[in-house]
Amino acid sequence: MAKGVDGILCLLTDKIDNELLDAAGPQLKVVSTMSVGYDHVDVRALEARKVKLGITPGVLTDATADTTVLLALAAARRLREGVDAVIQGKWGTWSPTWLLGSQFTDKTVGIVGLGRIGVAVAQRLKAFGVSRFLYQGNRRKEASEALIGGPVEFADMDRLLRESDVICVCCALNDKTKNMFNYEAFSKMKKSVVFVNTARGGIVDQEGLIRALKEGKLGSVGLDVTVPEPLPTDSELLQFPNCIVLPHIGSGTLETRTAMSEIAIENALAGIHEAALPHPHDE
Ligand code: DGY
């Protein structure tokens, strides 16, 4: 399909590499991905061929932040176990001590990657009475801290892992963040931690996560992203009652997916007509 085209409109499941670019040919001007993440694209290969890359930033921030909070709440309040109990007829008489979860009031939330989505997650969680936010990333971000407005501190990873009651992964997948959450990282977390990943599955070393879950090192886990996707139904990850997995639907609202598709088309058309892309990957 790529042979001879001027532009490629792709999804995050399409690998854009030298093989595809060779097949497309030297006339190719633009690759437009209907996603904000572009870890599926070999950016250096595109740059070497002077092919532009467009992405869909901003429009999926709210939907993805909503999903992050949804998973954090679902994990903290043991939603999976509760729903399973109802379906399996295990719902007995109301009990003061049955299926007790944890709440966010006065807790510390760690945000890994304080970009647009990380800020939107913090803004939402603030309303739950969180006492402070810690965040981790390449550098301190004063403007993002101001947008959150509450007690928010730039912390090193070690401190974030040890002091957070809830950890939300909101960073991009790249060479630095790949497998960043491994067994060692999970071992540093509080035993009651609520760990949520709505970014990319590759940021978590899944074997390390499974080991940590087996050893009871984690309170609860909510994932919207895994490796691979779809996650095979016999994956060990699905056997833990305190781990909820969603099928990469972070941005899955009609409003957001409509906006993403419109931006992807605008980027592709601009590239084909040799105009500046409305949303280049490096803006
Ligand atoms: C993206 O755009 O990168 C998201 O993962 C889609 O939900």
Tell me the pLDDT tens digit for each residue of 152-204. Answer: 999 999 999 999 999 999 999 999 999 999 999 999 999 999 999 999 999 99
- Percentage of the chain exceeding pLDDT 90: 99
- How confident is the model at residue 283, as a pLDDT? 84
Pocket test for ligand 1, best of 16, 34, 64 (most atoms within 8 A of CB): 64
Active site residue 248: yes
Number of domains composing the chain: 2
- CA 13 distance to own-chain centroid: 15
| Ligand 1 first shell, C-beta below 6 A | 12, 35-37, 60, 250-251
Name the closest-CA residue to atom 3, ligand 1: 37
Nearest Cα residue to 195 out of 239, 135, 244, 142? 244
- How confident is the model at residue 62, as a pLDDT? 98
- Which ligand 1 atom lies nearest to the CA of residue 34? 2
Residues 237 and 138 in one domain: yes
- Identify the residue whose tokens are 């603030």: 126
- How confident is the model at residue 150, as a pLDDT? 80
Pocket test for ligand 1, best of 9, 10, 12 (most atoms within 8 A of CB): 12
pLDDT at 14 exceeding the cut of 90: yes
Nearest Cα residue to 21 out of 35, 8, 40? 8
Q: Is residue 108 within 8 Å of residue 135, measured between CB atoms?
A: no
Q: Does a structural domain hold residue 178?
A: yes
Residues 47 and 141 in one domain: no
Residues 227 and 153 in one domain: yes
Residues 141 and 213 in one domain: yes
Residues 173 and 40 in one domain: no
- Which ligand 1 atom lies nearest to the CA of residue 252? 7
CATH assignment at residue 123: 3.40.50.720
117: which 2 tokens? 């989505």
- Which ligand 1 atom lies nearest to the CA of residue 38? 3
Q: Does pTM top 0.85 for this prediction?
A: yes
Residues 22 and 143 in one domain: no
CA of 99 to the centre of ligand 1 (A): 33
* First and final C-alpha spacing in the chain: 29
CA of 227 to the centre of ligand 1 (A): 15
Tell me the pLDDT tens digit for each residue of 224-278. Answer: 999 999 999 999 999 999 999 999 999 999 999 999 999 999 999 999 999 999 9
Name the closest-CA residue to atom 1, ligand 1: 35
- Band (pLDDT 50/70/90 cuts) for residue 16 is very high
What is the domain range of residue 38? 7-58+252-272
Average pLDDT, the chain: 98
